[in-house]
Structure 1
Amino acid sequence: MLVAVRATHDHLDLGVLDALTRDAGSLPAVIGEVLAERADAEPALDGWVVVSTCNRLEVYVDARRFHDGVDVIVEAVSRTSGMSRDLVALCFETAMDAPVTHHLFEVTSGLRSLVIGEAEIGGQVRSDFEAARAEGLTTTLLNDLFQLAFRYAKRVATEAPVGAAGRSGVAVALDRASQALGGLGGRRVLVIGTGAYARLGVAELTRRGVRSVLVHSGSGRAPAFAERHGVAAVPAGGLDAALREADLVLACSGRGTSLFPEQLLEAGPTLILDLALHSDLHPLLRHLQGVRVMGLADLASQLDDAAEPALVTAQAIIAEGAAEFRSRQQVRRVDPAMAAMRHAVAESADAEIARLRRDTSDDVADQVERSIRKILAKVMHSPAARARRLAENGHADEYVEAFHTIFGIDISAHREGEADGQETGPDGWMRLDRTIPPRISEDAASLTALDSRGAPATALASARYARIAMTACPVDHGMGRHASVEAPAVPEASLAADPAARPEILGAAR
């Protein structure tokens, strides 16, 4: 069965996602390790693809058993992030089958992005899928799912461009920066980092005619990067001076806190685009006079269905793609039945031909065998075509049951849909912590009590989360391993009154 778990910007603060996605690159291998440790039982998963981007962590799996499958994922994420299993379960949502298909198609098309319609997400999903396939982690089910998602994402981009209309998130961010600065002409720009976002940023700045672009990287790769892209590198020891002179800073290294308030105390008005999930900024930078910070959350764009007709068309295309995937899987369900029938008929024919060869000459036997094979091919064609039509019309289960009744061969796969009866949301997704055995600690359980105080049921408060998730965390969050971290004590009332303070509190905890 197709199962997925997701933790996204739709229901989590970006700071929480930051903690969850630490070392997410090793998650595919760790899932395999967890399965290997449980080798005494039948494997819960046949294949998996991990999709990790700047605003989501999702795992798509071909599962034999629902509960055991999601439990493997929770354990693996707990190991890679350094967070407890209970907290990991609180962060994720899960779904099976149709809602999973629809969600992946939306994600790949850019309709679930912070900047709706942005172009990078499709490439990121494809890269993660190709990596999983190269490692032998995918199955026919997952291959079909992702290949169709890519095909329909291309249709959405061509036939119904929405929001950013296939442009990069960096391009949209620079649009906002241009509006805030009254244009980019003559502005001095500093780019922090040499990764994908830095490459996109430099290319977009060059396209817009910005001439003064400096690049800095703590890894030492800035000179080579600058030479390749026709810009200048910040000289050794020159970062503070470059910050003082910059009108616009693109912070996109994702290496953790690397820019501090004291570096901009003498700077003039500065706009910083904080484009990495693992923020490059000390949280107090947001409070520095003359410095304005735009983060990923500030770039989120919301579309009104009525105001964006293309979105309606895009959703119709995605619905068509999801229907095609369901039809394909229904047809695949009858394939084993047809294979079993062909095998049984071929065995009978082989036995009869072998008997014939004992009683007749080879020439006669060869002629009879050719005739038998032709007759069997014609006889089998009609049932096979009828089976496919029945499956395409949603009658695969009835066909498989009838096949078992008539021929006495059980070809149904043993896959348990154990999530039946669980409470799901309107989109078919459910909170993952409600699908696994309850072992939630007192601190973790207290997070769900936010509901009774009026907070959204799916939201986690950053400050409360930081105090729990970052305490004795084995993952390095910029303060050394096994550091005991305590977020500043801030009254819950002030959090409710000033939601804008929440990212800073999480940042201080980081």
Structure 2
Amino acid sequence: MLAALRATHEHLDLDVLDALTRGAETLPAVIDQLQAERAEAVGAAPVISGHVAVSTCNRLEVYLDTDRFHEGVDLVIDAVARTSGLDREVVTLCFDAAMDTPVPRHLYEVASGLRSLVVGEAEITGQVRQSFETARRAGRTTSMLHDLFQHAFRCAKQVATQAPVGAAGRSGAAVALDRAGVELGGFEGRTVLIVGTGAYARLGLAELARRGVGDLQVYSPSGRETGFAERHGAVMVPADGIDRALREADLVLAASGRGTSLFPEQFLAAGRTVVLDLALHSDLHPLVPHLKGVTVLGLSDLAVGVEASDDPALVTARQIVEENVEAFRTQQQVRRIDPAMAALRREVSEAADDEVDRLRREVSGETADQLERSVRKILAKVMHQPAERARHLAETGFADAYVEAFHTIFGIDISSAREPADADESAEDDVMPAGWMRVDRTVPPTLTDADTLASAGVPRVGAPTATTGSAPAGSTAPHTVSDATIARLAMREQHKGTAASS
């Protein structure tokens, strides 16, 4: 089955996403490692056939081709707990999970920029594509995941060309610089310092060059500023020159994502400065936004939405999404009969080969060749109608009936390798998510888990609780724990090691 987990800006503070995504670059490998460990421990086949992790400054999502929903979700939660260093109970509070139709709908909206902070932004499609290609090259995708993501890319292209919404294909960096330009009163004669050499730094530098900014400086905490500066016509700032560069800069574009590298004391003599804090793992010390003369614009300040839900472009975009969701569903139905059609073609081909061999023993030369072409042409015509009928049945929801009839008529076993779970095994899967639900509701906690959550101030599932905010779009069950509580728990875990050492 197709399943997914998501933790996004739509229901989490960016500080929580920051904590969750630390170490996310190793998440796919950790999922593989945990699955191998479990398979070795219990001697069972892997529960996850394929997975794709999408990690951006707005979200951490994992798409699964899995045999067992709950086991697959549990494994991903364990993996995120390991990569982020957060308690597993905290991680379960941060993720939603779903299976089947809600999954492609969400992915297609994400890839089309409809769920971004900057609605319609240009970067997200490339980020999703890069995540898929990374998984594909590593051998972590399956035919179902391949189909899922190819439809996502088609959907994103259709939305961009037929129904541009919000920022209409502009980058988040462009929107951020629009805001900075307002704060600065324009870019003429301004000095800009770019911290970092990643995607946001490249986009920001290109946008600044288009806006006529000539005094561009680049500093990288990782020491990669030299090559980056040379390639983009900027001035390199060495490590011992960062304090001076900050004093001279009117605008600082902080986007390295390597953690705190800019401290309050470095801004004390800087005067009026606008800072674009564009990395999820912020470069800024928490006190910098409180300094006099320093204006900090973070990711949460860059939200660009659509004024009305009935905006014609948005309505069209949603229709495109639904069309692609249906196209994916139909494609998967057709794929269910592929083994039957392959088996039928194989049987027919073998019968044809036997007949052609018999004919060639009786005749030879051009006559034999003509007879073979005639036999194969007749069989191709005979096969055409059953193939078209099978496809139509699959597209209209009768794939199972076709497969059963095929087995009855031809006596060929083409049952899937993935057999339905036994009755005692399926008991665990009695409660399946209807749409997107928070993970701690899709998989009810054990007594020990519940006690742990309660001791942390989190109400038990089903217990009365005060909620804040609203449920994320597409969710059928509201979050019962406030974002502030999740943030408190997450940041407590994040700083646990620091507190212990101090």
TM category (shorter chain) comes to 0.7 to 0.9
Aligned to 1:492: none
* Alignment deviations for residues 380-403 of structure 1 (CA, whole Å, 9 cap, x no partner): 221111111121222222222322
Aligned partner (choices 444, 456, 463) of residue 453 of structure 2: 444
Equivalences for 1:391-406 in 2 at 5 Å? 391-406=394-409
SS in 2 for 1:453: coil
Residue 435 in structure 1 maps to residue 442 in structure 2: yes
- Cα contact 2:53–2:62 (8 A) shared by 1: yes
Q: How does 1:292-441 map to 2 (within 5 A)?
A: 292-306=295-309, 308-348=311-351, 372-413=375-416, 414=418, 421-424=431-434, 428-436=435-443, 438-439=445-446, 440=449
Give the conservation status (yes or no) of the 8 Å contact 1:120–1:169.
Answer: yes
Q: 2:466 aligns with which of 430, 453, 464?
A: 453
Deviations 1:188-216 (A, max 9, x none): 22111111111111111110011222221
* CA distance in 2 between partners of 1:241 and 1:165 (Å): 38
Hey, what's the Cα distance between the residues in 2 that align with 1:420 and 1:302? 38
The Cα offsets for residues 392-418 of structure 1, whole Å up to 9 and x where unpaired, read as 222222222322343344434336596
Distance 1:120 1:442 in 2: 42
Structure 1 residue 348: Cα displacement: 5.0
| Equivalent residue, structure 2, for 1:44 | 47
CA deviation vs aligned residue, 1:426-485 (integer Å, no higher than 9, x gap) = xx21111223362425453433479712324437556644554455x6xxx6x7x94446
Shift of 1:37: 1.5
1:282 aligned onto 2:285: yes
1:163 is displaced (CA, Å) by: 0.9
**Post-superposition shift, 1:369?**
5.9
Q: Which runs of 5+ in 2 are unaligned?
A: 470-477
| TM-aligned CA distance change 1:310 to 1:401, over 3 Å | same
Q: Measure, in 2, the Cα distance between the counterparts of 1:64 and 1:423.
A: 15
2-structure distance, mates of 1:53, 1:415: 36
**Distance between the aligned counterparts of 1:366 and 1:231, measured in 2?**
71
Selected match of 1:219 from 208, 222, 230 = 222
> Which of 238, 241, 245 pairs up with 2:241?
238
Instruction: State the SS of the aligned residue for 1:43.
Output: coil
Residue 489 of structure 1 corresponds to which residue in structure 2?
A: none
Q: Equivalent of 1:147, from 147, 150, 158?
A: 150
CA distance in 1, matches of 2:264, 2:301: 20
Quote the residue 1:198 is aligned against. Answer: 201
Show the counterpart of 1:252.
255
Q: Is the contact between residue 115 and residue 163 of structure 1 (CA under 8 Å) also seen in structure 2? A: yes
- Contact map agreement 2:433 2:442 (CA 8 A) in 1: no
Shift of 1:97: 1.6
1-structure distance, mates of 2:437, 2:228: 44
Determine what percentage of the aligned residue pairs are the same residue.
Answer: 62
Structure 2 CA distance for partners of 1:267 and 1:140, relative to 1, 3 Å: same
Which residue does the alignment assign to 2:106? Answer: 103
Structure 1 residues 225, 465: CA separation in 2 closer, same or farther (over 3 Å shift)?
same
- Quick one: which amino acid aligns to residue 323 of structure 1? E
Q: Distance in 2 between matches of 1:299 and 1:459?
A: 27
In structure 2, how many angstroms separate the alpha carbons of the residues matched to 1:448 and 1:176?
40
Q: Are the counterparts in 2 of residues 86 and 441 from structure 1 also a CA contact under 8 Å?
A: no
Aligned residues: 477
Question: What's 1:208 paired with?
Answer: 211
Q: In the alignment, what sits opposite 1:15?
A: 15
Distance 1:30 1:247, change over 3 A: same
Take 1:223 and 1:52, find their aligned partners in 2: how far apart are those partners?
A: 27
Q: Which amino acid aligns with 1:444?
A: L
Give ranges in structure 1 of 5+ residues lacking alignment.
487-508
User: Partners of 2:352 and 2:392 in 1: how far apart?
Assistant: 27
Whether the 8 Å contact between 2:93 and 2:486 is mirrored in structure 1 is no
Residue 237 of structure 1 aligns to a residue whose secondary structure is helix
Q: Any idea what the Cα deviations from partners look like across 1:160-193, whole Å, max 9, x if unmatched?
A: 1111111110000001111222222222221111
Indicate conservation of the 8 Å contact 2:466/2:480, yes or no.
Answer: no
CA separation in 1, counterparts of 2:408 and 2:310? 55
Aligned to 1:458, the other structure's residue is in SS state coil
Q: Which amino acid aligns with 1:458?
A: H
Name the CA shift for 1:251/1:313 in 2 (closer, same or farther; >3 Å): same
> Which deviates more, 371-380 or 227-236?
371-380
Give the alignment's TM-score, normalised by structure 2.
0.87
Match of 1:90 among 93, 108, 124: 93
Q: Determine whether 1:115 maps to 2:118.
A: yes
Query: Could you say which residue in structure 2 is the equivalent of 1:263?
Result: 266
Give the distance between the partners of 2:224 and 2:143, measured in 1 at CA: 40
CA RMSD after TM alignment: 2.8
Q: 1:422, 1:430 within 8 Å by CA — same for their partners in 2?
A: no
CA contact (8 A) 1:47 1:139 kept: yes
- Check conservation: 2:52, 2:132, Cα contact below 8 A: yes
3-state SS, counterpart of residue 82 of structure 2 = helix
Change (3 A) 1:302 1:416: farther
Query: In the TM superposition, what is the alpha-carbon distance from 1:116 to its structure 2 partner?
Result: 0.7
Cα distance in 2, alignment partners of residues 150 and 217 from structure 1: 33
The yes-or-no answer on 1:25 pairing with 2:25 is: yes
Q: For the Cα contact (< 8 Å) 1:65–1:416, is it kept in 2?
A: no
Distance 2:18 2:155 in 1: 30
